Amino acid sequence: MDIRIDPHTLERSGERGTTEEEIRDVLESGFPVVAKHGRLAKAKVYEFGRRRQKKYYEQKRVEVVCTIEEDALITVTVYVFYGRWEA
């Protein structure tokens, strides 16, 4: 399925600490999570191991919210959470 990343998603990705490559990876190999308003969402946990905004985090969790239109996944937004998640 074709993946189309909306400009809003790319803008938010830079602010929140992720990349276009990670967004695509989440949509291709992430696990499903609950989303509002009938949308789809996937998430994936990445090793981070560095500081962000003066605090050290072991991992980050990237969640991508999207819709399906015809044969394409179209992103709505991306969220990034920092912390530690169990496998």
3-state secondary structure of 38: coil
Judge contact between 17 and 83, C-beta under 8 A. Answer: no
Q: Which residue segments constitute the domains of the chain, with CATH numbers given?
A: 2-83 (3.30.2310)
Residue 1 confidence class, pLDDT cut points 50, 70, 90: confident
- Condensed to tens digits (0 to 9), the pLDDT of residues 36-52 reads 998 999 999 999 999 99
Given a cut of 80, whether residue 17 has pLDDT beyond it is yes
Judge contact between 85 and 45, C-beta under 8 A. Answer: yes
Judge contact between 5 and 64, C-beta under 8 A. Answer: no
Cα–Cα separations (whole angstroms), residue 68 to 30, 48, 73: 16, 30, 5
Average pLDDT value over all residues in the chain: 95
**pLDDT in the model for residue 87:** 63
Cα 16 to Cα 57: distance, rounded to the nearest angstrom = 14
pTM of the model: 0.93
